[in-house]
Chain A
Amino acid sequence: MSGVRVLVGTRKGAFVMTSDAKRKRWDIAGPHFAGWEIYHVKGSPADPNRLYASQTSGWFGQVIQRSNDGGKTWEQVGSKFEYEGVPGTHQWYDGTPHPWEFKRVWHLEPSLDDPDTVYAGVEDAALFKSTDAGQTWKELAGLREHDTGKHWQPGAGGMCLHTIIIDPRNPKRMFVAISAAGAFRTEDAGATWLPVNRGLRSAQIPDQDAEVGHCVHRIAMHRSNPDVLFMQKHWDVMRSDNGGDSWQEVSGNLPTDFGFPIDVHAHEPNTIFVVPIKSDSEHYPLEGKLRVYRSRTGGNEWEALTNGLPQENCYVNVLRDAMSVDSLDSCGVYFGTTGGQVYASPDAGDTWEPIVRDLPAVLSVEVQTLS
């Protein structure tokens, strides 16, 4: 019987939520790794029972967990993330050089076809790869050693590599995004990287259309159309039709174009979802109304989706990795809030219901479609 498994990372543990294809009744398991920050949990597209989780703590550092049974049981794997060579410096908030220091794993991206291969995006920004199911990690240092690397600066949340997208046509072609450096593309499996930020404009940096320095919050791609990318930037929703070579703004009629997540409908490559947030200092929805916005035209024309979402006194945020979609016939959309709610829509955003209301602040939401 088909169904879904929702993998939720929170400030104080991980939760695994399962339902049948109706997505009305949910079993909720957790907290796993209670008391730890779970930045991300994601399953392997090649083996849905293989999950990876980033477990982290300001006290005790980074732990990586792996499950081989869909999150019922877990085993600790390797957590040694050592930069290649002498790491050098990037820019600190005050513009002075600051040594590269590993802090945590923000995002885990399993290979599309090998359950034992997984990428990790970390803070301070770098990309690591494991080919032994997380036991050992090796940096793909060409990214951090890019000529611009010494000029990268952290955003307010830290200098994190938070987005990793693998081109389904060619696994050597990948995209990553870093706050606040921007988007980068590799064509050679991570050996060399090209900044792909042309068309971005950021009022928060001295050269508003600089090659790097943009605070990209999230990038999404539809598997059927890997040259089309959608981006939620610090401000502005952007679109690229040429694999990031250039970007155009598609914020259109959004009430505010600040936000964190962006995702694409599983079956409609031009249908995208964002959650507008009032501003860079007011991290909550406009007017206290939690609204997902959907565009069926790949941007510019947006409609508010409110049915089932709180429309008064709602002042939560939705973080960059906290939205996901399933691929059932009627595409499900899911997101989690800093107020601990996880909402699900079984009908592409037309209606919403909370799966759960009172978790710790949600850091990430991923969905697996189970057959």
Chain B
Amino acid sequence: MIRLVLPTHLKTLANVSGEVRLDVSGTVTQAAVLDALEAAYPMLQGTIRDHVTLKRRAFVRFYACEQDLSHEPPDTPLPDDVVKGKEPFLVVGAMAGG
């Protein structure tokens, strides 16, 4: 079971509170987690990564285990602690004013 934390605005869109828990089959990669998230919450399609290119939106970051995974290739396996559910995969809105 993958634990995923959404930023506040996306929790509102998805109508969830707290962590999201996802079943991800096969190798647990960033892309696989986001595929599972968007399948469970289709209203999030396009908000984290582009609808068409599936590239991460510029001001969204992915963190886990105190590491910035934003620039990792989407098919890179996530850390074991994320795969085992010990640590959450964090989707974060980049820091900015406004």
Contact = CB atoms under 8 A, between A and B. Distances in A.
Contacts of A59: 7, 9, 57, 59-60, 93-94, 96
Contacts, number: 43
A60 B45 CA distance: 10
Interface stretch (A76-84, A186-194, A321-329): A76-84
Nearest to B44: A60
Nearest to B93: A59
Contacts of A79: 45-46, 51
B40 interface: no
Interface size class of A (residues with CB under 8 A): 10 to 19
Q: Which 8 residue pairs of A and B lie closest in terms of their CB atoms, listed nearest first?
A: A60-B47, A59-B93, A59-B59, A80-B51, A76-B43, A79-B46, A61-B46, A82-B52
Interface of A: 35-36, 57-63, 76, 79-82
Interface centre among B10, B13, B46, B59 (most CB of A within 10 A): B46
Contact of A60 (B51, B52, B93, B98): B93
B28 interface: no
Interface size class of B (residues with CB under 8 A): 20 to 34
A35 B96 CA distance: 13
Contacts of A82: 51-52
A76 B59 CA distance: 22
Contacts of A81: 51
Contacts of B7: 59-60
B48 interface: yes
Contact of B48 (A35, A60, A62, A76): A60
Contacts of A76: 13, 43
